[in-house]
Structure 1
């Protein structure tokens, strides 16, 4: 039989493609792979007893059993048969021959077994949709193997989300909960709250998998989609401008030098008559200033005039087809999950395989749902028609204007004469 390889994988672990490739690359033939059972290990030991094996390839010594005594006993059986044993890894082949070679390998066995048991327990919890190990995130507590909202902390998180949804400013939301609830967090922590799937009722695991609707959410799906749009359109805007309350903050660039125009506020001096302050857009490099109100009115005028035509660059039929395809795939996965539940009740499918398949379907459904939520809103055409009405803009606050402008504009170009050119998000 020559060189044979053996690999053990716990029942709830993912398929070990890389480790199998290592064994095949070093000539393992046959290659026995046990997944959750020890059937092939017994066959390997029988071949060892017959003397038909010259070399055994393993990835780790701990694959030979579930207890330290089992591993030591089977290892001794292979050595007493005079069979060479080698370990394979990404670095190559290691064949211990002297006691100094064996000492560190034998010392690692208890650690590997404990690590395997820990990973298996975590995998079982993951397949059952239970939270990962560690303390619960702020706003939740553990109860009955799942997250439930904490009555004292959850209102703080919800107020943070509502303030961000209203004004679109992360720094202002952080200051708001510090003033109202005396809860002091960093801006980085606030950003993690906005991105953390747990507040949307989902669980995210270390392998990148997300399971949806595993516990009560503190943020609705509609609100979560709006937050994702806020964060996406703020990516190309400086942080201070993204948090500014003015509608044109971070959007206006100089057509000549390409620099970002700053918003500057001036007030009358002591020797002048009292009056209201003025806002200017100032280009530091080209040394010119434009009245903020005039530029804003020109931007609104062009949005009302050009937005319906520029929106035609979107392939609405293709978006509808994509939305329908994603919805159909989600529905098909839901039907498959119901069929798997029927198989479990009939006993036609073993529990580990059933749990693994359900987990895969739920993870795939979560990915499809995320793609669906990232598509433009279905009522986007109605919103565009509303934004084409000039009186609509006059009744909005600066924060509300900023919301709509950043939704549809990539930027605004101006020059020293005050000429305005809009760059729409729909443009190629």
Structure 2
């Protein structure tokens, strides 16, 4: 009793299945990639060597149309071959031939659409749908929309300066009357299209497909700000005060919020840090914001150099140089493809597929490069360990550097004295 198996794979959509998928030993396996040559060979071999069972995953593998599937089913039936479909859902539908044919037709139509999208993806064409705000659809790529792109550029610049997503959304509504939700603003910040890249439904990214609205350096800084803000509560991430979201009461373990108090009929403001959810009775009292700020600056200047000196850090510059070299090598391969097509070594379709795979690899390496620290941490520590450096900064600038180095600040009360335990992020 001879058992054979057949599988069809569309290279643009999927990878070839492993031999273990059949769940049992087979005498021979026929496998097609993008054509049906092996299927024809199977039918030819079965005319000379009798076969009892043929294993397939889905009926649709037997042809590109319902007519082709039916014709091949008839040939198999005439040869006395019993068909076993490993997909249980398909097997159950065999009792209802009309339903089965309709399902195959829908599947073939869906597959045809997906193949069309895959071909466009291989050629680095934009995915279907409306272009992101700030762009318009061109003939074969996104083009800058000169009326909308300034608002997008301004939105990114505001976020880079202040690191506040909600603040940038409010700024956009106030200056350009462009109202978007916070979730939409977050999608803008992470959308590869604004960086000159295309992301497709399968999650793969192709770099340098059109003119970007922000540079690679700006995109890397946006990603760093988003990762840093993800450690904080949403409202703390956008709060204007530099200690917001960092201070914790060591006694009651509650996070602390910044509160503002004004004297009666006076313009002067007093800032305090108060526990948000203190379970103590009586509750922990507020602490002067300015006092904690000065103690924080003193603690950073004192402790940060020693904390960084103890770190076992890899050679960041060497790693960056290695990744940059690998990217340059990949780019050279892409540049050689037109010559290989002209000489007949590669056909256009194979070259497009090779170019697509290389460009996805380049995009992945660029992503790794963007996640690496942009500066030498030891050199930066020497600068930020000077008290004058902190005194010359605004609150928003101090907030930027605090969150770059500090995970949390635990405030310890000892009688009337306040002490801090600064926990760094590394």
For normalisation by structure 2, the TM-score amounts to 0.92
Counterpart of 2:270? 278
Paired residue secondary structure (2:85): strand
Larger mean CA deviation between 176-185 and 380-389 belongs to 380-389
Bigger drift between 381-390 and 411-420 goes to 381-390
Question: 1:168-207 to 2 correspondence within 5 Å?
Answer: 168-207=163-202
> Of 333, 336, 342, which aligns to 2:333?
336
1:220 is the counterpart of 2:219: no
Q: Deviation of residue 317 (structure 1)?
A: 4.4
1:378-406 per-residue CA deviation (whole Å, 9 max, x = no partner) reads 34444332212222222211101100110
Q: Give me the whole-angstrom Cα distance separating, in 1, the residues matched to 2:100 and 2:418.
A: 75
Aligned length: 418
Q: Is the 8 A contact 2:412 2:421 kept in 1?
A: no
Q: 1:69 aligns with which of 50, 67, 70?
A: 67
Give the aligned partner of residue 385 of structure 1: 382
SS at match of 2:47: helix
Q: From 19, 34, 38, give the equivalent of 2:32.
A: 34
Deviation at residue 160 of structure 1 after TM alignment: 1.0
Kindly indicate whether residue 397 of structure 2 is the aligned counterpart of residue 406 of structure 1.
Answer: no
Distance in 1 (CA, whole Å) between partners of 2:389 and 2:43 is 80
Shift of 1:179: 1.2
1:12 touches 1:352 (CA, 8 Å); kept in 2?
no
| Farther off after superposition, 136-145 or 380-389 | 380-389
Which residue number corresponds to residue 286 of structure 2? 289
Q: Does the aligned pair in 2 maintain the 1:61–1:105 contact within 8 Å?
A: no
Cα RMSD for the two superposed structures: 2.1
The CA distance in 1 between the partners of 2:109 and 2:210, in whole Å, is 30
Paired with 1:187 and 1:400, the residues of 2 have a C-alpha distance of 23
For the Cα contact (< 8 Å) 1:201–1:217, is it kept in 2? yes
**Aligned with 1:94: secondary structure?**
helix
Are the aligned partners of 1:11 and 1:352 in contact in 2 as well (CA < 8 Å)?
A: no
Contact 1:86 1:95 in 2 (8 A): no
Deviation at 1:93, TM superposition (A): 8.8
| Structure 1 position 209, deviation (Å) | 0.9
3-state SS of paired residue (2:286): strand
Partner residue of 2:315 out of 306, 309, 318: 318
Displacement after TM superposition at 1:95 (Å) = 7.7
SS at match of 1:86: strand
Question: 372, 375, 390: which is aligned to 2:372?
Answer: 375
Residue ranges of structure 2 left out of the alignment (5+ in a row): none
Q: Does structure 2 conserve the Cα–Cα contact (< 8 Å) formed by 1:169 and 1:242?
A: yes
How far, CA to CA, are the matches of 1:381 and 1:341 in structure 2? 46
Conservation of the 8 A alpha-carbon contact between 1:174 and 1:187: yes
Secondary structure, counterpart of 1:415 in structure 2: strand
Per the alignment, residue 262 of structure 1 pairs with: 257
1:277-328 superposed Cα distances (whole Å, 9 cap, x missing partner)? 1000112524221110111111112212222222223444432332233223
Q: 1:166 aligns with which of 151, 161, 184?
A: 161
SS of the residue 2:203 aligns to: coil
Structure-2 separation of matches of 1:247 and 1:180: 25
Contact 2:198 2:206 in 1 (8 A): yes
Partner of 2:4: helix, strand, or coil?
A: strand
- Superposition deviation, residue 351 in structure 1: 3.4
Asked whether 1:209 is paired with 2:204, we answer yes
For structure 1, which segment, 43-52 or 293-302, has the greater mean C-alpha deviation from structure 2 after superposition?
Answer: 43-52
Which residue among 135, 144, 151 is the counterpart of 2:146?
Answer: 151
In the TM superposition, residue 51 of structure 1 has moved relative to its aligned partner by 5.5
Report how far residue 92 of structure 1 moved.
8.8
Q: Which whole-Å CA distance do the structure 2 matches of 1:372 and 1:138 have between them?
A: 27
In the aligned structure 2, how far is the partner of 1:165 from the partner of 1:264?
Answer: 26
